[in-house]
Amino acid sequence: MVERIVEAARVVLVRDGYESFTTNRVADEAEVSPGSLYQYFPDKSALVTVVMDRWSAEISDRVAASLAASGPVDVQDPAAVRGIADALLSALEADAGLLRIVWEELPAVRHRAAQHALETRVRELLAVYLSAAGLRSADPAARAWVIVMAVENIAVRWVLDRPAISRDDLLDELTALAGGFASGSGADARSPE
């Protein structure tokens, strides 16, 4: 039943948009009475939260799965970062419909928590790479934060806006950004080594 409702919620969200995401419509879609919905969720926003949490977890899992599937990561290899970015891109593309609603229609407040969770997980993944790559940044945490924020927006917007950049080129750019940047040393990254 919870399953049915959450699935219906997701369908309504993607199909009709957040403006039309009403408790009655979700109930309709789930072929359930509005009252039943309130037996499992305290209010409408709880429903959104659950959908968001699941989606965020799915993305995390997909990223993790992708990485696992591509074998052990040699963190010395620049390709490692490419792998992470690739996995993230694929994960976002898997449900671009929901991504669009979340990013463009949902007030950020509604998915803040899920987004934070995702960012944290990606930051952790990145941290492994960064530390192993022997980066010399004065503040590794700051650097990780910066990279994650950068990659997040770039990946999302690429999927949603489809700028005239091929997937491969984008991955090249992302690798350059995170990689070149990471192996550099803060503000002096551009000086000869």
Partner DNA sequence: AATGAATGAGTTTTCATTCAT
Partner DNA sequence: CATGAATGAAAACTCATTCAT
Q: Write out the residues near DNA by the rule CB under 7 A.
A: 1, 19-25, 32-39, 43-44
Contact 88, 125 (CB under 8 A): no
Binding mask 39-78 for its own copies (x = CB under 8 A): ---------------------------------------x
Contacts of 53 (CB under 8 A, 6+ apart): 113, 114, 117
Q: Which of 104, 106, 114 is nearest to 160 (CA)?
A: 104
Specify the 3-state DSSP secondary structure of 164: coil
Task: Report if residue 185 touches its own copies, rule: CB under 8 A.
Answer: yes
Q: Which does 164 bind (CB under 5 to 8 A by kind): DNA, its own copies, none?
A: its own copies
Q: Where are the alpha helices (DSSP H) in 17-94?
A: 23-29, 34-40, 44-69, 79-94
Report the nearest approach of DNA to the CB of residue 113 (Å). Answer: 18
Which positions lie near its own copies, rule CB under 8 A?
A: 18, 78-79, 82, 103-109, 112, 137-139, 141-143, 145-146, 149-154, 157, 163-165, 169-170, 172-177, 179-181, 183-190, 193
